[in-house]
């Protein structure tokens, strides 16, 4: 397998699992890009354990993702 094929073998099931839990898809983004701003990851955590993530910053700025990923919970 090439590295691209291996990456798809690993990430596609994870994308399907995230979609199954959150109801949100990655759209046309790849796995890394879909998680880059932290919003989908926070939604996944909230779906798994409600109340864990107090607030998800959805501002469309590069710093917004940093706030979402690194906010104290």
**What is the per-residue DSSP string for 34-66?**
HHTTSHHHHHHHHHHSTTSSS-----SSHHHHH
pLDDT number for residue 61: 66
pLDDT for residue 63 is more than 80: no
By the 8 A CB rule, do 37 and 65 touch?
yes
- How far is C-alpha 12 from the chain's CA centre? 13
pTM greater than the 0.75 cutoff:
no
Distance set, CA 47 to CA 16, 43, 66 (Å): 15, 6, 20
Query: Which tens digits make up the pLDDT trace of 1-48?
Result: 688 888 888 888 999 999 999 999 888 888 888 888 888 999 999 999
64 token code pair: 């917004």
CB atoms within 10 A of CB 47: 16
43 versus 65: the higher-pLDDT residue is 43
């Amino acid at each position: 397998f090439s590295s691209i094929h291996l990456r798809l073998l690993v990430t596609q099931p994870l994308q399907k699992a995230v979609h199954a839990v959150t109801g949100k898809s990655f759209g046309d983004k790849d796995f890394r890009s879909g998680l880059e701003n932290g919003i989908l990851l926070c939604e996944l955590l909230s779906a798994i354990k409600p109340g864990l993530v107090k607030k998800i910053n959805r501002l469309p700025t590069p710093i917004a993702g940093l706030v979402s990923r690194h906010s104290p919970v």
